[in-house]
Structure 1
């Protein structure tokens, strides 16, 4: 369900802009998705040129990309702090996000929330005045029917995400299932986030409310940087 209408050049500019914030000795959260991949590639080039960093991947995909680009990896329990996290989004309204198009939002939220500085990288197609993108919700397999009923009660329309190249549903890196939940326009993201988090069986949802510190938007001729 990812919105991929942004150009490769826009995504590259955003990713490289965020990567430029990383300094020697930092621990870096490595996000998931096509725009975050450009940041990982840029960091790999910097490491090859002598930059000393350690990365914490947020998914199998970002881990593989980091290894391919020669970025040394670590884990949350092996560091005292995460200096910066660089991650993409499926939709951005102000500093509130919908994430989870890659079904990695649980790990992403853990790493992004732990970071001293969370930088979102995006292209203009991800920007919105109000969130209306379906909210991914990761659920324990046994809780699928009860969570679906509860999401419906909250006003959402949950659809079990189907795998594209295998029969059956998408299974996350954590071994769980994902509902994509259409709530229409989300006028109160904080309340909806709290309601979803309170549902038994929900592992994590894709509403990232007031976690982002900066948004770097890649344009055709530069980068727009939004800070709090």
Structure 2
């Protein structure tokens, strides 16, 4: 299956470079390029791609607003691009529905891998961005907390899975910690996302911190 991609960046050379790298892959097709958020939203509405790469800072409509629009209207998954490792807008972009966050100096192979991972329904964050996200909770920069009672719909094992997700563990690592199979973990993760109405693992991590299920710097029991 070919992954259809829209690349949006106000810098033409950056946009063209990313598009060239992705279009050279046998399983990826760049269906459109955009120079600002308005063009990006228009391109997603017209071409219905699987993934859109959005520069977080663009004229007119920025990448965050564009992500919020396309994620709400379509099944397209957004990867945010930035030149800053500790961007002030990381948390806001993830809350807007972004499924990935990469620095613009990302290596060629990592860019391609990110598109494939996000298109497959997973989430992806650069390590520097993960540190920024956790720092937001530590400093209280995150927005209003959710009602912890929202987690009452989860079983004990699903809560444990969510706590481990918040630590950034992979399915294999969660399986080892819980002494279950990876298939069981995948089922728990799917149940967590469905019951809480979340798009992906990133939003699950955010929900874990916002509800107090996970606390920065504290390991789950």
User: Same fold, TM exceeding 0.5?
Assistant: no
Higher relative contact order, structure no. (Cα contacts within 8 Å, ≥ 6 residues apart)? 1
Instruction: Give the structure with the larger strand fraction.
Output: 1
